[in-house]
Chains A and B, each alone.
Chain A
Amino acid sequence: MLELTNLHKTFAAGTPNEKKALKGLSLSLDAGDFVTVIGSNGAGKSTMFNAIAGTFITDEGKIVIDGEDMTFKPDTYRAKCIGRIFQDPMKGSAPSLSIEQNLAIPYSSTKKGIFHRAISKKDREYFREVLSKLDMGLEDRMNVPIGTLSGGQRQAVTLLMATILTPKILLLDEHTAALDPLTAEKVLAITKEIVETKKITTLMITHNIASAIELGNRTILLDDGKIVLDLKGDERKNLTVDSLLKMYREVKGKNFDNDRMLLS
């Protein structure tokens, strides 16, 4: 479903601020994989997501999504098959538009012709149905500007927006990090539910080791622009927070002490 081959990206090349963010990163995902991504700050997790989403074109390497070579495609083209959610709940929706209008933007974008009505009666019923599944009472507030919702509610709606047309790849960039623990748990549960029912190939960055182990079927650890640990199947089944940290320690060696604080 997703093939990343030997990706390289250097920022500010040739200046004193040169930063090699990706150093030959390769990753292959099967359809329906739910991969949790961990790693310390600056390991290249978000850079990897940006590379996949097309925020920049990589210096080297190849990106293939569902058999289609996306290496040189612009971000707006790739967005047709990629859903992406950021840490900041404010980033994923238009605050002065209503909930239903926000949902209609991705949902109606595949309809034929540019002058079709944005929201039909049928659409509205469908939106009501998907919103009611969130169990947040939003289905009765569909005309409310989304800027008046709380961060958790907004993030949940953003999740719906990203998945309302089933994307081939879903990128979750610490999408619960800005939420309080209870809301974060709820949004994670909704994420799990949607990803499992729609069988979306998903990559989720998290700093919460426990949820990295609990969610999904595969865990990768990024360090210094490369994937240094790739756990799946039996190896992952018996994983605990401590054993994962131990593995990380072995990989990182003496730099670990700094990272322990960031990870746990």
Chain B
Amino acid sequence: MVNQIIGAVELGLVYGLMVLGVFITFRILKIPDLTVDGSVTLGMAVCAMLTNAGHPLLAIIIAFIAGLCAGSVTGFFQTKIHIPPILAGILTMSGLYSINLKIMSDGKPNISILGSDTLYSNLMQLTGCSKHTAYLIVSLIICVIVLIAVEFFFKTHLGLCICATGDNEDMVRATSIDPNKMKWIALALANGCVALSGAMYTQYMGYADVTAGSGTIVVGFASVIIGETICGKRGLSVGFISAIVGSVAYRIIIAIAIKTNLFPTYFLKLVSVIIIAIALGLGPVRAAFAAKRNKTRRQKANA
């Protein structure tokens, strides 16, 4: 059981930045961005090729930049040719499927990087620590670096304007800031984080697979919601951390559920969807109950 939990924490940290990316679009920009399924695989593909070429650190950085580009494409679709946000994400995601195959040695559906140096194996060689320690430390360091960078970014004027764009677009427009540019930047940044997370996944698992990203967005939404339930909605800084916490918590919940034979592995996505539906439905259901209670109370009082 302990092994499963450790594995879950590792995977949670690896996917933490993906959840952070989803948080940026879903909670700050208030746009559900479906590019994620494609950009996470893009990160995996780019990382696998460059890691095999012998550049594990560069692989992660280039994967981030590739994610920025993927997000920009969605931004372009949304703001320049006015495709509705959901469709824009789907278009980029579908297009990325071909691009990912192209990147992965012209059409191979999966690539192994076993035997190549990764950031994890580098740390193991350097310090002689165990495999799992290396997984935890490297993932945690990358997460903390990105968290600090994102936290700093959203303290700048540009970051503030992105928050305001998600909140009240008219007002941003009235203060001479182009909200389309803000959306563009936020989508790029978010997908950069997602691709970075995909790159970490490749080095962690030792392979890249073109189908490994499907359903990631659902996991992302579920993790954001779980994180918010744990940490509460208390401003942006807490929100960023809650994304990582949510990612880890999600993996632990799933690990426990599978270990205790609550449901088979292939039920993962269905369970994620149910978690999201329940979490999003909680608000309206609560309101409906309150209204009903109010009605019966007053009817009784009148009777």
Contact = CB atoms under 8 A, between A and B. Distances in A.
Q: Do A and B come from one complex?
A: yes
Interface of A: 75-80, 84, 91-97, 101-102, 104-106, 108-109, 111, 114-118, 161-162
19 contacts: A76-B178, A79-B173, A79-B174, A91-B170, A91-B171, A92-B171, A92-B174, A97-B167, A101-B160, A104-B157, A105-B161, A108-B160, A109-B177, A114-B156, A114-B157, A115-B156, A115-B158, A117-B156, A118-B159
B155 A117 contact: yes
Contacts, number: 77
List 5 tightest A-B contacts by C-beta distance, closest first.
Answer: A79-B176, A94-B167, A94-B164, A118-B160, A80-B176
Contacts of A108: 157, 160
Nearest to B180: A76
B177 A76 contact: yes
B177 A105 contact: yes
A96 B167 contact: yes
A203 B160 CA distance: 30
Interface of B: 153, 155-161, 163-164, 167-168, 170-178
A86 to B, nearest CB: 8
Contacts of A84: 174
Contact of B164 (A77, A91, A97, A162): A97
A80 B153 CA distance: 24
Given A76-B178, A114-B158, A97 B173 contact: no
Contacts of A93: 168, 171
Contacts of A109: 157, 161, 175-177
B173 A76 contact: yes
B181 to A, nearest CB: 9
Contacts of A161: 175
Contacts of A116: 156-157
Nearest to A161: B175
A143 to B, nearest CB: 9
Nearest to A78: B176
A91 B158 contact: no
A118 B156 contact: yes
A79 to B, nearest CB: 4
Nearest to A101: B160
Contacts of B163: 94, 96-97, 101
Contacts of B178: 76
A104 B158 CA distance: 11
A96 B164 CA distance: 8
A78 B176 CA distance: 7
Given A94-B163, A104-B157, A118-B159, A77 B174 contact: no
Given A76-B178, A106-B176, A118-B157, 8 more contacts: A79-B174, A79-B175, A91-B171, A92-B174, A94-B163, A109-B157, A117-B155, A117-B156
